[in-house]
Structure 1
Amino acid sequence: MDTRSPAPATPQESLGVLLGLVRSEIVRAMEAELAALGVELRFTQFLILKRLARLGPMSASELARAVELDGGAMTRQLDQLEGKGYLRRCPHEQDRRALRIELTEQGAALWQQLTDCNDRVLEAAQRSLSETERRRLHDYLTRVLDALRAKD
């Protein structure tokens, strides 16, 4: 009986490992950009601001789904971002029991500053790809995501 552990997968052997490594490097690079600007945000908080800036006000549960956080983790992140003055919880216009999360003026101004950071990180991640390869990569990853989300 062979009791040796299997050798760890190399990125060439595992799509999951490769995708995980790419995500980790994007997170590392983005957090380095934020630190260089003197902005005290973690990557998840950056994503929350990005979603609100791009999609507009939404409920905490919608936002949690958009950035893939559970409710408790989202509440902690929202508390921190609200404490920094970047977002606010406002009463929902149609449902007085619900709250909508929206960027403050300070949050919107910060997002404008962070847009360049986001662009630099994503450009650096793709710098060795031609425009055609970039489009193909986006297409491939979109198709992989759609396949994983398919219910059938």
Structure 2
Amino acid sequence: MQAKKRSVIAELSSGELGYLVTEVRNHLLAGIERELSPLQITAAQFVVLNSIVSGKGRTLSEFCKLLGYDSGAMTRLLDRIEAKGIIRRVENPADRRSYLVELTEQGKAVFPQARQGTQSAFRRMLAGFSEDDAEALRGLLHRILANTAEA
């Protein structure tokens, strides 16, 4: 008599999915940190720079949403990046109570190197993937995001 095999969905639902996603995230961030260390930029700092360049974030609240930080933690992160001379805060013409964040000339010069480093980390993670594998991964991740958005 053969034992019934437990379903993969049941195994993933019992916590394995969370564990795997967390492990992938941790390894991804560690790889990015290694790549960015010569530039003295952290992964979180790169997210801010990339958000500015891509137009996805320029205000404290936008950065908080992107990184999942509270305003105090985000302010401290921005302070550290500003101290490196990579960003500056400027008055927000639409809301004088807040400010916008923009890259300095130094930030504009370092960003392409930082982007190249993060792309190297991503390519290592996708080593051995075919185009079909990568397309399937992207589709599955989008499905998970859609499912969580409905919750």
TM-score range, shorter chain: 0.7 to 0.9
Matched residue, 2:137: 137
Q: Give the CA deviation at 1:104.
A: 1.2
Matched, 1:124 2:115: no
Matched residue, 1:66: 66
| TM-score normalised per structure 1 | 0.84
Matched, 1:34 2:36: yes
Q: Give the CA deviation at 1:45.
A: 1.2
Matched residue, 1:15: 17
Aligned residues: 140
CA distance in 2, matches of 1:123, 1:48: 21
| TM-score normalised per structure 2 | 0.84
% identity of equivalent residues: 31
Contact 1:57–1:100 (8 Å) recurs in 2? no
Unaligned runs of 5+ in 1: 1-8
Higher RCO structure (Cα 8 Å, ≥6 apart): 2
Task: State the AA in 2 paired with 1:34.
Answer: L
Q: Give the CA deviation at 1:56.
A: 5.9
CA distance in 2, matches of 1:45, 1:142: 25
Matched residue, 1:103: 103
The 3-state SS of whatever aligns with 1:18 is helix
CA distance in 2, matches of 1:93, 1:148: 36
Larger helix proportion, structure 1 or 2?
A: 2
CA distance in 1, matches of 2:51, 2:71: 16
The 3-state SS of whatever aligns with 2:95 is coil
RMSD (CA atoms): 2.0
Unaligned runs of 5+ in 2: 1-10
Provide runs of 4+ in structure 1 moved above 4 Å.
none
